[in-house]
Amino acid sequence: MNSERESAPLTLGEARRQGAEHLRQAGVEEADADAELLLLYVLGIGKSTLLRDWRDPFPAEKRETWDKLLERRGTGIPVQYVIGEQHFFGRPFEVSEAVLIPRPETELLAEAVLDIATRLWPDPAVPPVVLDVGTGSGALAVTFAAERPEWRVFASDLSEDALRVAGRNAVRHGVEERITFVQGDLLSPFMASAGNEYPQIDILVSNPPYIPSSDIPELQREVRDHEPRLALDGGEDGLNPYRIMAGQLKGLIGIPRVVAMEVGIHQAEEVAEFLRAAADWAEIRYVKDYAGIDRHVVAIK
C-alpha cells in the first residue's frame, strides 16, 4: 500500500474499492467480496448499513487496522481466519487454522439430516442420539443441538485444538450442556470393544478429509497453506476415512439408523458401495450441492 493511498481521505465506498484492488494485485480471487467482508468487520456494521452510508468518511482511527487486515488477506490467509469467524446455518462460528472453514454445501448435509430425522423420530420425547465425526469447528454438532434441543449430540475429533474451538462455539450458542465432546480417531472411541458407556448411535454424520494426498499441492494457496492438513488429506485416493468408518460400523453397539457423509467430487458412488458392503439399508440417496455435484451420501435403515 503506497503512502498516497494511506494519507488520502476516504469514503467507505472508496475504501472498499481500493481494498479490493489491493487484494486483486495480491492474487486474491474473491477480492471484491473479501474486501467488503473485511470492511464490514472493521466497521462493525452490516451490509445494508454500508450501502446506506456508502459516501460517509472512513473513520481515521480504524485505518491502521483496515490496512493490516488487507495485508494479512493479501498474503493468502483465508478471510475467515483473518476475522476469526464464519457463518454456518445462520450462526457465527469461531474459526482458526486449527479447523476447516465450514462450507455452504455442508449446510445441505445439515438440512438433509434434520429433515430425515424429523420423519424417523417424530416424537420429541424419543429423540435420536447423534454423532458428528471429525467435528472441527463444531458447526454440524452445534447446529443440531441448537435446532433440535431434545437431541443428545456427541462430537468427536482427533485434534485437541479443534475440540477446543468446537467447545467455545458450543458455549457461544448456549448448547455446551447438550454436546459431549470426545477425542479420538473416527469411530474408534465408540466401538463396543472400547469398553465405554456411550449409547448406541442413531445418526452418524461426518464431513471427513476427502482430498487425495497427491492433489493437496495443487489446491488454492488459501486451503493448501492454511487449512489443517489433518482435515483435508483423505489418503492416496481420498477415500480412507470412508473405507475405515464403513468397516467400523459393525463394531458399534448397533448399526446407526442413518449414516450421512459429505464426499468429494466423483466419490459418492464409491462411498455408497462401502456402506452397502457394511450393512443392509432400506435406501441410499445422494444430495447434490449448489453446483449439481453429488456431495452427500445418506444411508437409511
Residue numbers in the known binding site for substrate are: 207-210
Residues contacting residue 160 through CB under 8 Å, at least 6 positions apart = 183
Q: End-to-end distance of the chain based on CA atoms, in angstroms? A: 59
Instruction: Name the amino acid, one letter, at 280.
Output: D
Cα separation, 61 vs 241, whole angstroms: 49
DSSP label at residue 198: P
Do 90 and 142 contact (CB within 8 A), yes or no? no
Picking from 291, 268, 275, 277, the residue whose alpha carbon sits closest to that of residue 210 is 268
β-strand pairing of 258-262 with 283-288: unpaired
Cα separation, 174 vs 170, whole angstroms: 6
Cα separation, 17 vs 57, whole angstroms: 14
DSSP label at residue 186: T
Q: Which residues pair with 16 in a beta bridge?
A: none
Cα separation, 248 vs 235, whole angstroms: 17
Residue numbers in the known binding site are: 134-138, 157, 207-210
Residue numbers in the known binding site for S-adenosyl-L-methionine are: 134-138, 157, 207
